[in-house]
């Protein structure tokens, strides 16, 4: 028996009663958040109810009811919505993460980390989604439930750059390459290329990367990178993200969660081609 989930009888895909549909829609509306989930579920339940039940079945693997899964998935989803410019999703994730204990400053750390990839365009979407609300967006009592062992460690990001000068000094170069060799075991070719052709850019972009995450668990960063590279299909980026995650104590259970949740919500099964090539041996 697969059982019930959010008002739907997942053990019977052949019939979906009006009562099931109403129970599910009322459950979704109980959060009193943005209406996109209500309308999206309505489309599936009205026109493809068996598909809707299977979608709920799959969703149970990655989010509700486990609060840790809700937070980890939400962190990844906020990044994706910023990249896509989906302002309704951004608004929903701010409300969801606050509901589960993240403070405003912590949510904004995710936003700033995502800016490294979404640029000013991404911040524009966040402002249109949340800018007028942020001044009255009060903090919850918290703390948010993260997986066991996940904890803040702002110093883990830092390699010791000399920020009194724009130039990349010899010491900067040595400290940056040492950080990569010590943390993930090698210097990525992206860094090799940047240091060769535009070292000043590498320095300032790395400096932004180092200060984006302060009060969130450091493990949030590689989980965001995991989502980003799953959606872009970057095998090299995926491998780097998993190596960083493992170095910082993320277990295979959460790595697989991040990979397959990305596949379920954003890439389809084809997204697992890149994951197989890049990180199967690491899991």
In which band, very low, low, confident or very high, does the pLDDT at 180 lie, cut at 50, 70 and 90?
A: very high
In which band, very low, low, confident or very high, does the pLDDT at 92 lie, cut at 50, 70 and 90?
A: very high
Q: Where are the alpha helices (DSSP H) in 60-138?
A: 67-84, 87-99, 104-130
Average pLDDT over residues 212-237: 98
Q: How far apart are CA 185 and CA 66, in angstroms?
A: 34
Q: How far apart are CA 201 and CA 185, in angstroms?
A: 23
Q: How far apart are CA 276 and CA 5, in angstroms?
A: 31
Q: Where are the alpha helices (DSSP H) in the chain?
A: 18-29, 36-47, 49-59, 67-84, 87-99, 104-130, 170-183, 189-197, 199-212, 220-232, 235-247, 252-262, 272-279
Of 72, 112, 1, the C-alpha closest to 265 is 72
- Kindly report, residue by residue over 106-144, the tens digit of the pLDDT: 999 999 999 999 999 999 999 999 999 999 999 998 799
Buried/exposed code over 103-138 (b: 16+ C-beta within 10 A; e: otherwise): bbebbbbbbbbbbbebeeebbebbeebbeeeeeeee
Residue-level pLDDT at 246: 98
Of 216, 244, 253, 279, the C-alpha closest to 79 is 216
- Kindly report, residue by residue over 242-259, the tens digit of the pLDDT: 999 999 999 999 999 999
- Kindly report, residue by residue over 32-84, the tens digit of the pLDDT: 878 888 899 999 999 999 999 999 999 999 988 899 999 999 999 999 999 99
> What ranges do the domains of the chain cover?
7-59, 62-145, 154-212
Q: Which fold has domain 62-145?
A: AhpD-like (1.20.1290)
Residue-level pLDDT at 151: 98
Answer yes or no: is pLDDT of 237 > 80: yes
Q: How far apart are CA 1 and CA 9, in angstroms?
A: 10
Q: How far apart are CA 30 and CA 163, in angstroms?
A: 49
Q: 75, 17 in Cβ contact below 8 A?
A: no
More confident residue, 142 or 6: 6
- Kindly report, residue by residue over 94-110, the tens digit of the pLDDT: 999 999 999 999 999 99
The 3-state DSSP class for residue 60 equals coil
Q: How far apart are CA 37 and CA 29, in angstroms?
A: 8
Backbone angles phi, psi at 5, to 5 degrees: -150, 115
Q: 22, 35 in Cβ contact below 8 A?
A: no
């Amino acid at each position: 028996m697969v059982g019930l989930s959010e008002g739907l009888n997942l053990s019977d895909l052949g019939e979906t009663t009006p009562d099931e549909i109403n129970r599910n829609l009322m459950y979704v509306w109980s959060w009193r958040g943005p209406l996109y989930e209500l309308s999206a579920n309505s489309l599936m339940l009205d026109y493809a109810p068996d598909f809707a039940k299977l979608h709920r079945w799959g969703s149970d693997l990655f989010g509700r009811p486990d609060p840790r899964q809700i937070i980890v998935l939400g962190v990844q989803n906020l990044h994706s919505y910023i990249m896509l410019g989906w302002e309704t999703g951004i608004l929903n994730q701010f409300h969801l993460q606050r509901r589960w204990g993240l403070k405003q400053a912590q949510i904004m750390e995710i936003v700033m980390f995502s800016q490294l990839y979404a640029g000013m365009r991404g911040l524009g979407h966040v402002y249109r989604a949340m800018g007028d609300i942020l001044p009255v967006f009060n903090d919850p009592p918290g703390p948010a439930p993260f997986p066991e062992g996940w904890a803040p460690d702002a110093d883990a990001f830092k390699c010791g750059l000399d920020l009194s000068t724009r130039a990349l000094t010899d010491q900067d170069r040595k400290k940056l390459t040492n950080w990569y060799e010590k943390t993930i075991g090698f210097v990525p070719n992206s860094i090799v290329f940047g240091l060769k052709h535009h070292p000043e850019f590498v320095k300032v972009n790395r400096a932004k990367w180092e200060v984006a995450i302060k009060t969130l668990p450091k493990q949030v960063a590689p989980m965001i990178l995991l989502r980003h590279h799953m959606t872009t299909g970057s095998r090299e980026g995926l491998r780097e993200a998993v190596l960083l995650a493992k170095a910082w104590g993320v277990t295979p259970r959460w790595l697989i969660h991040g990979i397959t949740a990305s596949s379920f919500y954003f890439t389809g099964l084809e997204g697992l081609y890149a994951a197989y090539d890049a990180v199967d041996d690491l899991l």
